[in-house]
Chains A and B, each alone.
Chain A
Amino acid sequence: MTKNVKQQAGEAKHPLEDLVRMDRIPHIWCSGCGIGSVFSSCLTAIKNTGIDYSKFAMVSGIGCSGRGAGYINIDSFHTTHGRAIPFATGIKMANPDINVIVFSGDGDLFAIGGNHFIHAARRNMDITVICVNNMIYGMTGGQVAATTPYLARSATTEAGNPESPFNLPLLAYAAGATYIARWTMLHTRDLADAIVAAIHRKGFSFIEVLSPCPINYGRRNKEKSIDTLKNYHDKTIIKNGADPVTLDIDYGKGVILGKFVDIDKPTHDEKYRKIYLREKE
């Protein structure tokens, strides 16, 4: 029995709809913003793991990317600025069965929250941290971030940024992360696959996702959204296993994407339980 085509179309659902709080749509992200694409890849990844949705929790901090937790239809926590990782740590250590995903921005995770990032990586806390790196404080109107390129213009560096940005994968590597990758929001499938791998990888996983902020970064730096996407397409090199030292973001020489670290190390909850609760690993 063939159903009416229109009726079929009417019944069609977006394949990720069960993971979205549809009653909260439309979202707040601007036209040309990349966060939605990163968020979609994240939802696809969660679906593709095959793990029951009730075994996930998403934690965000504050900022545009920090709104991610507000749209995903699982247990989700929109915390304070910079503190998604310690909140996630509390969840993981109290209930290791939960797959905890931190979804937040570069300002949140690496300026105000930088200390928590390095310590969670050092402990090998078994969480997955997805950083949407748009190189700027978007929600507050485009102030310089710890990831803003040298000499880039922002609302607080009108004549150019005098500071140097973090190389985030290098930082994660130095702090002890067991899975490290970088993709752009254009590489949706690679990104979704990386997130699946990061969720399955026991230990502290970190994925940096380059993503445009046309309103607050692009506008000031004469870079249209399409220019940024062209950079992501034309001036990136996929090089798995690249030396983290080479991963600074410089489109002049090409920006390296890929999986840089994927190693097996006991996690903090495994070690705590083994040493203190006398459980076998």
Chain B
Amino acid sequence: MKSAVLTGEHFINGDEACAEGAIAAGCMFFAGYPITPATEVAEQMALRLPDVGGTFIQMEDEIAAMTCILGSAWTGAKSMTATSGPGFSLMMETVGLAVVTETPCVVVNVQRSGPSTGLPTQGAQADMMQAKWGSHGDYEIIAIAPSSPQEMFNLTITAFNLSETYRVPVFIMSDEIVGHMSEKVVIPPAGKIRTVSRPKPKGRKENFKPYAPGPKGVAPMPAIGEGYNVHVTGLTHDEKGYPVMSVDTQKEMMARLLGKIRNNLQDIILTEDYQLADAEIVLISYGVAARTSYTAVQTARRMGIKAGLLRLITVWPFPDDRIQALAEQVKAFVTVEINMGQICREVQRCAQGRARTYFVGHPGGAIIPPADVMAAIKEAMQAK
């Protein structure tokens, strides 16, 4: 029987690294449904969870898988599911339930090309807006985009930590290319891995209010069986968790749900700067597309163009302030992503007309060649 943390150097693909990250983060429950190109995450979890006394179940569809991990999460278990586009669509209603019931969970989307069945075995980054807006109603979630198998390991741990801290679904927005790419993955000793668990209630169990906010606006979360007699509902509810069909309660609940993310952006948002200090042209990229962008920055620099990269590690919540600040200093933004124009809209919004915005996209099925990015950089340089 293997341990939770397989310390050492491994040559594994992104999906497997994701599963190892989950186990290292303390995940004890996985419910899934087979779908290319995310199946290896489920397979690895099925193999590894018994090693740590955890539970794997393959459900009848993705709706069931997503709902199942909410049930397990309320027993206190860190819980995860993994899927790709069509499954992600099916999970969307339950994502709303996770948000409104403030149930921590991690959802991996190894993105493939769509719409519909699309190119099941080929990558894309075209579910980025769905991650933010796919379920009905207003809400905030956290979405993270790993660029390598190593990051599939590291950022899965980050995803669990954020999910537990903020009692919110966290999406790992990977893609087929990173998911199926094998690279060296270094797993540190268990003692070097920081894991976070949800805040737990203390004190009186009578008249306990499961949604009364604590530090950071996040309420402590009891588990089933601890005697708190919680009521958890998808209806608009007060701090006691009871349904109240009123505008005031809706306002109060929405302020709490949105506030715990919007008031903690500094703690949540992760970005990486590459050659940004003196950059005139700033590439904005995330996930596998960022790998193209590194090459483009290096090529541009060799040609004497001051290019840099702002890599979005968390895509949601969006780093508005950072891009607004950069817009005051730089000539242009070039958003590089494998879709037909999603995050580039956010960049355009944040640039507020103070810097030009360009978009290098792709309909899906392949990575973006650096030459395409170079063409946009040159166009940006020549613009008056």
Contacts and interface: CB of A to CB of B under 8 A. Distances in A.
Interface string A253-281: 00000000000000000001000110000
Interface stretch (B64-72, B267-275, B292-300, B310-318): B64-72
B243 interface: yes
B106 to A, nearest CB: 14
A166 interface: no
A90 B68 contact: yes
B350 interface: no
A24 B49 CA distance: 41
A59 B50 contact: no
A178 to B, nearest CB: 19
Given A75-B225, A91-B75, A83 B231 contact: no
Interface string A29-68: 0000000000000000000000001110101000000000
A76 B233 CA distance: 8
B63 A86 contact: yes
Contact of A83 (B50, B67, B75, B223): B67
Interface stretch (A93-101, A181-189, A195-203, A235-243): A93-101
A23 B93 CA distance: 30
Contacts of B55: 93-94, 272
Contacts of B224: 57, 75, 91, 95, 98
A231 interface: no
Contacts of B56: 276
Contacts of A88: 71
A276 B51 CA distance: 9
A155 interface: no
Contacts of A83: 63-64, 67, 94, 97
Size class of A's contact patch?
A: 35 or more
B64 to A, nearest CB: 4
B366 to A, nearest CB: 36
Contact of B72 (A75, A78, A91, A116): A91
A85 B57 CA distance: 14
A246 interface: no
A72 to B, nearest CB: 9
B159 interface: no
B72 A94 contact: yes
Given A24-B242, A272-B55, A78 B67 contact: no
Contacts, number: 134
B225 A86 contact: no
Interface in A68-121: 69-70, 73-80, 83, 85-95, 97-98, 115-116, 119
A83 B75 CA distance: 17
B278 interface: no
Contacts of A53: 229
Contact of B231 (A54, A70, A92, A119): A70
A78 B235 contact: yes
A21 interface: yes
B59 A86 contact: yes
Contact of A97 (B61, B72, B73, B225): B225
Contact of A79 (B69, B227, B234): B234
A59 B56 CA distance: 21
A75 B230 contact: yes
Contacts of B18: none
Interface core residue of A76, A86, A91, A115 (most chain B CB under 10 Å)? A86
Interface in A222-253: none
Contacts of B59: 86, 89, 119
B135 to A, nearest CB: 11
A57 B226 CA distance: 11
A277 B97 CA distance: 31
A251 to B, nearest CB: 34
B139 interface: no
B115 interface: no
A177 to B, nearest CB: 16
Contacts of B93: 80
B61 A90 contact: no
A69 B101 CA distance: 14
Interface string B72-97: 11111101000000000000011011
A85 B59 CA distance: 11
Contacts of A78: 231-235, 243
Interface of A: 21, 23-24, 53-55, 57, 59, 69-70, 73-80, 83, 85-95, 97-98, 115-116, 119, 272, 276-277
Given A79-B234, A86-B68, A98-B225, 20 more contacts: A21-B242, A23-B242, A54-B226, A75-B229, A76-B231, A77-B231, A77-B232, A77-B233, A78-B232, A83-B63, A89-B57, A89-B68, A90-B67, A90-B68, A90-B79, A94-B72, A94-B76, A97-B225, A115-B61, A115-B64
25 contacts: A54-B225, A57-B224, A75-B74, A76-B229, A76-B232, A77-B233, A78-B231, A80-B93, A86-B63, A86-B64, A89-B31, A89-B68, A90-B71, A90-B73, A91-B75, A91-B224, A93-B55, A93-B57, A94-B71, A95-B76, A95-B77, A95-B224, A97-B225, A115-B61, A276-B49
